[in-house]
Chain A
Amino acid sequence: MALDNTGQRVFKVVGTRPPRPDGVDKVTGRALYGADMSAPGMLVAHILRSPHAHAEIVSIDTSAAEALQGVKAVVTAADFTPQEDEYLDDILVNCLARDKVLYDGHAVAAVAATSADVAKAALKLIKVEYRKLPHVTDVDAAMRPDAPIVQSGRSLETVPEGMSENVTSHCEFGHGDLEAGFAKADLIIERSFTTAATHQGYIEPHACLATMGADGKGDLWCCTQGQYNVRSICADLLGIEASQLRVTASEIGGGFGGKTTVFIEPVALALSRKSGRPVKIVMSRSEVFLATGPTVSSSTDVKIGMTKDGRITAGQAHLRYSGGAFPCGTVDMGAQAAFAAYDLEAVQTLGWNALTNRPKEAAYRAPGAPQAIYAVESVVDELCQQLGLDPLEVRLKNAARKGTKSSYGPTFDDIGLMATLEAAKAHPHYSAPLGENQGRGLSAGFWFNFGGNTCVTLNVNTDGTVGITEGNPDIGGSRAAISQMAAEELGIPYDKIRTIVADTSSLGHNDVTDGSRVTFSVGLATIKAARDAISKMCSRAAQIWGIDEEAVVWEDGAACPAGPNAGKFPPMTLAEIAAVSFNTGGPIAGHYEFNADGAGVSFGVHLVDVEVDRETGGTKVLRYTVFQDAGKAVHPSYVEGQMQGGAVQGIGWALNEEYIYGEDGRLQNPGFLDYRIPVASDLPKIDTVILEIPNPGHPYGVRGVGETPIVPPLAALSNAVSRAIGKRLHSLPMSPPRILKALSEA
């Protein structure tokens, strides 16, 4: 049997770069995404949204809309039963406003009709009487005791008295004696930072197709990062049993955390139930910006003390996040991640979440970490500047390592931060010369990584091929990585394996594709499912040879007799065993299910060179290098892809992207023209260096890689700009007007 021999194992398939199984579908236009499915008799639905940032809904009259020729169903919050569970009720109220609209674009009603034109015309006939209420969109303003209350009664007991009711939660992490730590410092710097809310910006808008009959059975096709999660939420909100709702995940056109919840899916199901017809909803881009997952906006104070020779003596951060109009736990993750890259004697982080009249936050790649680490890494950089120290040396001196008690509690096992920093130091990028108005910035980054509930089935076909059924939508090549791990374990070629993503009725529960968990957890389950199948194949071979099961081992894709009494039989390959399986006990399959633990934290370091145009305030990224520990890169091209894609999203966040609200509390830039994400001509080559410090929690050493790369760019860019112009900005994005303002103040 194959062994867990991390570190010495010579891989045959893992670490190579085979073509992805869904490649041809995706380059020919054949792959079906959320909006690409239709059904006979299908209706099209559109959603009416609030024009106000905050208002009471006095009344809704849908009668004229219902009377319009071609309208088949109209739903509002009144068509749903309020949920006892607050988490579920918040999702429901976000899907359709109940008593108040809480942000510009909040959904109020939905119409299903025979055509999009009729549905849109019907929306105009719905009469909603609003009573406008004062609004607040800024997190600091929302925390003040006199702020307009977004939702009352939502504060947890953890919130200190005297704060606005908008403050829903408070958290605290850290260890050691802060006062003593700061007393040892030669220099203490304390600064305040803000970051704008940004959107995940997936190119595919949310879309779904729902069918629900009078018998209470439903089918839902949608673009999601987690079909099981969609099923359980929708079943609860519609009051049906999970077994009666089958959810199929379409190909997904990007998610980055933003497709981990529901927005339109319960609405489409309700409309379908009411009309008895399939109902399709596709969001427009402006709806995506207005009503789906931006990140938190943040306001953070950081205080760090350092000795003259660069040792950090104490660190403290106060983080104020707003996850929009609903309670949000993201600040907890920011507060835990803020100082994770450092080995500190004294550290404390405090966090608060406040309600604002903004859309409900949804996860975005390492949620909460970029904002916190931006503030910490900016202050560390300023300390280096003022003390005349090399920022990389200072990070090496203070880096968390094996045995470090992390700032959020656990003690680190094998981690790759030191190796990553060393690689950055040795890289030619770090010593390349810079010109006028140019600056180099660096930042470390961190993410926890998750495991979670996972289950995989592996079927051995009689022709010697293998089918893998897994339950996590493939967001960036995971089917390839999973097939590779199965091929590695079984000892058969990669192209003998086909991995498919199952619907909710075909496989047991799998957690959402998030937390950088898929290659780690699903990969681990696949390896274990393969081992389950291998043990069955060994037993079939033993049966054929008439020897003991224990006397058979699996080597290079074949069962072989082993040990003194096994006898001499030629090895039986997987294909040979599979071919006779119907005569030796029936089909052969492997299965594994578990709640994965041991994901292994991930660290990265980014280096960036920028040039700032003093006339326009524009920042050009000249050179960019990402260093990251992947544990073991299963398909290095897709690992590089995660590193590059995350880095570029971070560049957008640092330089351009932001939710801009007017005085009226309405979003002013809900489109790609005014919410500008990086385009190809904005960017240089994004260089990547993969480090492989094996994760002890995985037989091949795999760590999640998807989230960490969005964390360092914010501070790396800010540090680079500050060195280029000799002036530090404390707000993101560093858009041209902000840079010009900073320059004019110089």
Chain B
Amino acid sequence: MKTIHVSTTVNGDAAEFICGPDESLLDVLRNRLGLTGAKEGCGTGDCGACSVMLDGRLVCSCLVLGAEAEGVTVDTIEGLAEGDHLHPLQQSFIDHAALQCGVCTPGILVAAKALLDRNPDPTETEVRYWLAGNLCRCTGYDKIIHAVMDAAKTMRAA
């Protein structure tokens, strides 16, 4: 099969890769760029574990083609912290015990950041609906919602 050469920006750095025309962005990130933070929970857009930002939009990377990254920016969980300085959402998830197994956590953090970027003061209901596409089987969501609300508060105060 003919491969495609793609030039893109991942977490602020220029990146290049070759991929198949039917290869998902998730597979490219995980298998070609070594960024295994985004997880495949379903491969069909139903779990949100693969959430990344594509050109500032929250997407399920399992539903995006690697080729679509050409010329745009991709932001993943690996780019959320600045060096050894955790993002307030990351710190809040640790402080609130908002993860058990943690496999949903990268996707939920990316999605939660996308929410707070557009709505710094969401209601609990807004958080619950925004994260409705991110499945977590361990926590019952309670501590996740708290952690997001609390991080939003911290970020508003900063």
Q: Residues of A at under 8 Å CB distance from B?
A: 17, 19-20, 22-24, 26-33, 35-36, 38, 117, 200-205, 251-256, 282, 284-285, 475-477, 635, 637-638, 640-641, 644-649, 671-673, 677-683, 685-686
Contacts and interface: CB of A to CB of B under 8 A. Distances in A.
Given A27-B90, A201-B137, A35 B40 contact: yes
Nearest to B90: A27
A641 B109 contact: no
A19 B47 CA distance: 27
A680 B141 contact: yes
B95 A117 contact: no
Contact of B47 (A30, A203, A282, A685): A203
Which of B76, B81, B139 counts the most chain A CB atoms within 10 A?
B139
Given A254-B101, A671-B46, A683-B141, A677 B135 contact: yes
A202 B137 contact: yes
B136 to A, nearest CB: 7
- What are the 5 tightest A-B residue pairs by CB atom distance, in nearest-first order? A29-B37, A253-B103, A26-B102, A648-B140, A637-B97
18 contacts: A23-B99, A24-B86, A27-B90, A27-B109, A29-B38, A32-B36, A202-B137, A204-B101, A205-B41, A253-B39, A254-B103, A255-B101, A285-B46, A635-B97, A638-B100, A641-B97, A677-B137, A681-B131
A645 B137 contact: yes
A27 B86 contact: yes
B29 to A, nearest CB: 10
A29 B42 contact: no
User: How many residues of B sit at the interface, in one of the four size bands?
Assistant: 35 or more
A680 B145 contact: yes
B127 interface: yes
Given A644-B140, A683-B140, 20 more contacts: A19-B94, A28-B37, A29-B37, A29-B80, A31-B102, A35-B36, A202-B101, A203-B41, A254-B103, A644-B142, A645-B100, A645-B137, A645-B138, A645-B139, A646-B140, A648-B140, A672-B41, A672-B42, A679-B132, A680-B136
Interface string B95-128: 1110111111110010000000000000001011
A202 B138 CA distance: 8
Given A285-B42, A683-B128, A29 B78 contact: yes
In terms of DSSP, what is the predominant structure of the interface of chain B?
loop
Nearest to B79: A29
Contact of B44 (A117, A202, A645, A673): A673
A724 to B, nearest CB: 22
Contact of B102 (A251, A644, A672): A251
A309 B1 CA distance: 77
B141 to A, nearest CB: 4
B28 interface: no
B20 interface: yes
Interface of B: 1, 20, 30-31, 35-44, 46-47, 49, 76-78, 80-81, 86, 90, 93-97, 99-106, 109, 125, 127-129, 131-145
Nearest to A709: B140
Contacts of B94: 19-20, 23-24, 27
Contacts of A476: 100-101, 138
Contacts of A649: 137, 140
Given A19-B94, A20-B94, A672-B42, A644 B143 contact: yes
A117 B20 contact: yes
A339 B122 CA distance: 45
